[in-house]
């Protein structure tokens, strides 16, 4: 246990010192703020329609930006944009260990491979927790500011709704992060892992879902993909959001939850087993 704690602490220090980590997290916060509130607020103030307003009324736009709508806003951007960036963090955490020779050094001189890889995975998980927590705090502050500015009372959403949204968001980001970690282990480098992860998350799954509308066998296959599982888990919480990228209602909420959890478990086990058996020479 001490070895696992020490490995987690060391890995957190490594991730915290990387400018790449802060760039990825900063990019997510900027995207979250822009798509969650900025575009809607610009449309609300100017009275012009944009791709986020979807022809809604000004009152409807304002309602989406007030604190009671926070749980839905918190998770809507996670299946695609948040998930892709979480995958980048996982891929970098695993892949850079090969490029810099970190894994070889630690495995030779440090604790067991199980403790080392477990500590790295725990550190990535803590980064995911920090991302979703920071997003929640940011949204809470911005929505409260908008409520005060527009002369509305600050009515907070229920703790149950926030907890469900937080848990859903964490599971979606964690799934993509550990899948990115696994790809980094398989690719033995950060560049190809990040590239493959982004192409899969942002392009391949969307193409397969498009083809699935024409070929039933492909449609059945898409039901077990990670993007479909994460998007359906969010869709089960917020309802049908056809204009929101990545949010779908392809499978039910219970099936989506089981699929997401299965991806997390399989990716963690596969990464640990592969790293324990791999020759790093």
- pLDDT tens digits along 216-234: 777 788 888 898 899 999 9
| Domain presence at residue 167 | yes
Q: Give the pLDDT band of residue 194 (cuts 50, 70, 90).
A: confident
CA distance 43 to 17: 38
> Average pLDDT for residues 237-250, to the nearest whole number?
77
Q: Give the pLDDT band of residue 75 (cuts 50, 70, 90).
A: very high
Three-class SS state of 110 = coil
Q: Which of 47-51, 57-61, 91-95, 267-271 has maximum average pLDDT?
A: 267-271
CA distance 241 to 135: 20
| Domain presence at residue 254 | yes
> What is the end-to-end Cα distance of the chain in Å, rounded?
28
Sign of CA dihedral 227, 86, 253, 73: negative
Task: Report pLDDT for 23.
Answer: 93
Residue written as token pair 């995207």: 31
CB proximity list for 269: less than 8 A, separation 6 or greater: none
| Domain presence at residue 62 | no
Q: Give the pLDDT band of residue 242 (cuts 50, 70, 90).
A: low
Residue written as token pair 């100017």: 46
Higher pLDDT pick, 256 / 203: 256
> For residue 69, what is the enclosing H or E element?
none
Q: Give the pLDDT band of residue 275 (cuts 50, 70, 90).
A: confident
Task: Report pLDDT for 175.
Answer: 95
Task: Report pLDDT for 66.
Answer: 92
Task: Report pLDDT for 167.
Answer: 96
Confidence check: pLDDT of 54 > 60: no
> Average pLDDT for residues 170-183, to the nearest whole number?
94
Q: Tell me 245's DSSP state.
A: T
Task: Report pLDDT for 221.
Answer: 83
Q: Which of 108-117, 168-177, 203-212 has maximum average pLDDT?
A: 168-177
> Average pLDDT for residues 50-61, to the nearest whole number?
65
Stated pTM of the model: 0.89
CA distance 245 to 163: 23
| Domain presence at residue 53 | no
| Domain presence at residue 57 | no
Structural domain span for residue 135: 2-26+67-140+157-277
Indicate the average pLDDT of the chain: 86
Confidence check: pLDDT of 109 > 80: no
| Domain presence at residue 166 | yes
* CB-count exposure of residue 159 (10 Å: 0-12, 13-18, 19+): exposed
| Domain presence at residue 43 | no
Q: Give the pLDDT band of residue 162 (cuts 50, 70, 90).
A: very high
* Residue 71 dihedral angles phi and psi, to the nearest 5°: -55, -40
Q: What's the number of CA atoms in the CB half-sphere (13 Å) around residue 56?
A: 17
Task: Report pLDDT for 250.
Answer: 85
Number of domains comprising the chain: 1
Q: Give the pLDDT band of residue 160 (cuts 50, 70, 90).
A: very high
């Amino acid at each position: 246990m001490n070895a696992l704690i020490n490995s987690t602490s060391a890995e957190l220090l490594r991730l915290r010192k990387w400018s790449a980590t802060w760039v990825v997290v900063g990019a997510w916060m900027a995207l979250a703020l822009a798509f969650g509130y900025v575009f809607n607020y610009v449309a609300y103030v100017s009275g012009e329609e944009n791709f986020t307003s979807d022809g809604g009324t000004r009152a409807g736009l304002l309602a989406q930006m007030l604190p009671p709508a926070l749980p839905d806003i918190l998770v809507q951007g996670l299946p695609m944009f948040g998930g892709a960036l979480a995958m980048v963090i996982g891929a970098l955490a695993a892949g850079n260990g090969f490029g810099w020779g970190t894994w070889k050094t630690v495995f030779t001189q440090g604790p067991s491979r199980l403790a080392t890889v477990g500590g790295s995975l725990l550190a990535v998980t803590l980064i995911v927790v920090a991302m979703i927590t920071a997003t929640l705090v940011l949204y809470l502050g911005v929505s409260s500011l908008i409520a005060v500015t527009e002369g509305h009372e600050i009515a907070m959403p229920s703790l149950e709704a926030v907890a469900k949204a937080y848990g859903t968001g964490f599971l979606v980001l964690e799934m993509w992060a550990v899948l990115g970690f696994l790809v980094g282990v398989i690719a033995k480098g950060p560049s190809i892992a990040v590239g493959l992860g982004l192409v899969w998350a942002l392009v391949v799954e969307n193409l397969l879902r498009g083809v699935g509308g024409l070929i039933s066998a492909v449609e059945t296959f898409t039901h077990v993909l990670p993007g479909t599982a994460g998007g359906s888990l969010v869709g089960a919480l917020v309802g049908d959001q056809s204009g929101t990228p990545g949010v779908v209602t392809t499978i039910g909420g219970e099936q989506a939850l089981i699929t997401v959890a299965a991806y997390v478990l399989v990716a963690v086990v596969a990464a640990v087993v592969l790293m324990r058996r791999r020759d790093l020479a």
